Amino acid sequence: MPALNALFAVLLLAAPSTAQQDEAPVALDAEYQRLALRYANALETWSILEKRQRKQGVPKAQLAVPPGYEYQPLFEDLAKRGSAYARLWMVQNPGFHGESPIKRRAVLQRWYKALVEESPDFEQMGHVIEELGSSKRRLGEEFVLSTLATLSERSTNPEYIVGALYHQGWILSEGMGTKDPKRRAEALEIFSIIVAGYPTSTEAQRTAGVLYAVESKALRLALHEWCDACRAVTAQGEGPEKWPKNPMHQTQPKMASLAAAGSGQAQQWVAQFYPAFDQRDRRARDLGTLWLGQEFSKRRSAAESDWMDLKFDILDVAAEVAAEADWAFGLVKGLNEELPFFLPERYAPLLRKLIDATQETRVREQAQVTLARSLSKGASAAELEEALALFRSLEAEGEIERIRKEAEEHREALERVMPGASVPALVGKDAEGVKIDLEAYEGKVLVLWFWSFNRKEEGQLDAVRAFIKSMEGEDFAFLGVNCDLRSPVAFRRQAAKEGVGWRNALQYRRAGHMTETFGVHHWPTAFVIDDAGVIRGRGIDLKSCEALSRELLAARD
């Protein structure tokens, strides 16, 4: 028994206790704190000394050396012995690890790897993750991705796991800008794991915002396919009740999970957009379709061409069955109210289909006046002439008094800026601040050219210069109207850069624009004005402007 007790005592002394195992990191932490305090004092002393030397004019090469070079071996020794804090110091102070980028990268990779593999739950790991996520170029993408993957596997801290996953997904997807389908699919899988597994995390909210855009795009494409399927059913003589189920319904559960993860857009989708659609879709498929097409104008900008393509695709499907529908007037009335946002290429096909399909006077005349208003914003002379013809027809033969009066008002406004009318006053100043007075151009053929630096076509400015040169020696003038809302200083700077040497009126005002006075909605738009101040042509290209100008000059002679 005494021998057995002696053997037990020897084994007990040989095996380290739990307390003894914990002493090593505690001792290392204490040693790090003492070293960090000494370093902080040395850093403050050096800072004071360097400022004094700079004031004294000491050359840069002779300034005091930062203490990091002296302390780096001491921190490195602690890092080698297992101090997570010392390892963090090593990665956060790369300037003291040598002049070579290759050497610095090797040192950084070594200590980042040691931190992640040996201390995955280190209390400062959140900072480490953020640094890794922004160090793809410094450390190499492959290293960063593998290190983040290791951390997400080894850590037991949910905050660190989800942070590592998020940065993996963001790097793989290149901020959702990658063209590589494999990388994109891998990133989306990671983002889906975050939303499903960590819905209350900050990263889940950020990820939900990314996935909302992905799901919205998928829905947009699915709705285009659904429109084609609905047209095929209608072509077979079937009504809206036979249309396939709208993909909005399949998207709802996905949006619900994104809403739960904190996406504000998805929350609005789930709480407002989908319920309003679903209520109408349950009543009738065509009502849900109509509402969906109209609603995109409220939820999407007219500048988002992809979504506006979808809007008019959906409304086109609605127009297929609008002939006898009691909501047809609501459709054309809604289009009439949206006119400030869209140009004829969007509206004309849809409105022509409605005019051909309906037998109801109220719907047809509202569609006609809406079409005329849309065409009056057109770029070509043909569109403007068609708009005038429609206004005149409605004014003379329309059955609805309200629409007759509306047609009369728009006809008068359009005729004021069409060929045959006296040119309106152009209120403004040129780039030098000199007031523009069109009366000063009487006796000359004048081309008034509305244009923009932002929307110029290739070779457009060269064509203007060639046109002006070809008219030298004639009783001719060329006046630009720049529509960019640039200040005179900004315009002159850009004009010098682009070689714009002709006189320009600047639309540098927030109200009462020259484009409104002349009814211009596209640029470039040209007006040819004769020597008596009468508009002789508009909405024509520069070659036609030159031909018409020469014709007017020849007729005068």
Residue-wise DSSP of 72-88: HHHHHHHHHTT-HHHHH
Domain finish residue from 191, 209, 227: 209
Q: What six digits make up the tokens of 490?
A: 């900004």
For residue 336, count other CB atoms closer than 10 A to its CB: 18
Residues 156 and 190 in one domain: yes
d(CA 256, CA 279): 17
Q: How many domains does the chain have?
A: 3
Query: Is 122 domain-assigned?
Result: yes
Residues 434 and 380 in one domain: no
Q: What pLDDT does 1 receive?
A: 39
Q: What pLDDT does 557 receive?
A: 67
Query: Residues 372, 337: contact at Cβ < 8 Å?
Result: no
d(CA 286, CA 280): 9
Residues 402 and 455 in one domain: no
The three state secondary structure string of 462-520 is HHHHHHHHHCCCCCEEEEEEECCCCCHHHHHHHHHHHCCCCCEEECCCCCCCHHHHHCC
Q: What pLDDT does 18 receive?
A: 36
Tokens 């040819």 — which residue? 528
Domain finish residue from 182, 209, 236: 209
Query: Residues 437, 512: contact at Cβ < 8 Å?
Result: no
Q: What are phi and psi of 528, to 5 degrees?
A: -110, 125
Query: Is 488 domain-assigned?
Result: yes
Residues 435 and 405 in one domain: no
d(CA 508, CA 481): 10
Which pLDDT tens digit goes with each residue over 292-309? Answer: 999 988 888 878 889 999
d(CA 107, CA 490): 50
Domain finish residue from 360, 380, 415: 415
Tokens 């402007």 — which residue? 545
Q: Is the pLDDT of residue 159 over 90?
A: yes
Which pLDDT tens digit goes with each residue over 174-217? Answer: 998 999 999 999 999 999 999 999 999 999 999 999 999 999 99
What DSSP line would sit under 277-343, residue for residue?
Answer: HHHHHHH-HHHHHHHHHHHHHHHS-TT-HHHHHHHHHHHHHHHHT-TT-TTHHHHHHHHHHHGGG--
Return the CATH number at 471: 3.40.30.10
Least reliable range by pLDDT among 175-184, 327-336, 417-426, 488-497: 327-336
Query: Residues 349, 327: contact at Cβ < 8 Å?
Result: no
Residues 167 and 289 in one domain: no
Q: What are phi and psi of 203, to 5 degrees?
A: -65, -35
| 426 or 420, higher pLDDT | 420
Residues 25 and 160 in one domain: yes
| 502 or 14, higher pLDDT | 502
This prediction's pTM: 0.74
Residues 398 and 454 in one domain: no
Q: Which amino acid is at 557?
A: D
Query: Is 1 domain-assigned?
Result: no
What size, in residues, is the chain? Answer: 557
Q: What pLDDT does 510 receive?
A: 56
Q: Which amino acid is at 412?
A: E
> What confidence tier does 341 reach under pLDDT thresholds 50, 70, 90?
confident
Query: Is 395 domain-assigned?
Result: yes
Q: What pLDDT does 516 receive?
A: 86
Query: Is 295 domain-assigned?
Result: yes
Enclosing H/E stretch for 449: strand 445-451
Alpha helices by DSSP H, listed for 398-459, are 401-415
Q: Is the pLDDT of residue 394 over 60?
A: yes
Query: Is 2 domain-assigned?
Result: no
Residues 183 and 241 in one domain: no
Residues 398 and 347 in one domain: yes
Query: Is 73 domain-assigned?
Result: yes
Q: What six digits make up the tokens of 308?
A: 């506006």
Q: What six digits make up the tokens of 178?
A: 């990658």
Query: Is 420 domain-assigned?
Result: no
Which pLDDT tens digit goes with each residue over 436-478? Answer: 999 999 999 999 999 999 877 788 999 999 999 999 999 999 9
DSSP state of 422: B
Q: What six digits make up the tokens of 379?
A: 């770029």
Q: Whole-angstrom distance between the N-terminal and C-terminal Cα of the chain?
A: 137
Residues 205 and 228 in one domain: no
d(CA 25, CA 40): 22
Domain carrying residue 466:
429-556
Residues 120 and 204 in one domain: yes
Mean pLDDT to the nearest integer, 95-111 = 83
Q: Is the pLDDT of residue 19 over 60?
A: no
CA neighbor of 366 nearest in space, from 397, 338, 396, 330 = 330
Residues 188 and 220 in one domain: no
Query: Residues 148, 167: contact at Cβ < 8 Å?
Result: yes
Q: What pLDDT does 11 receive?
A: 29
- Average per-residue pLDDT for the chain: 89
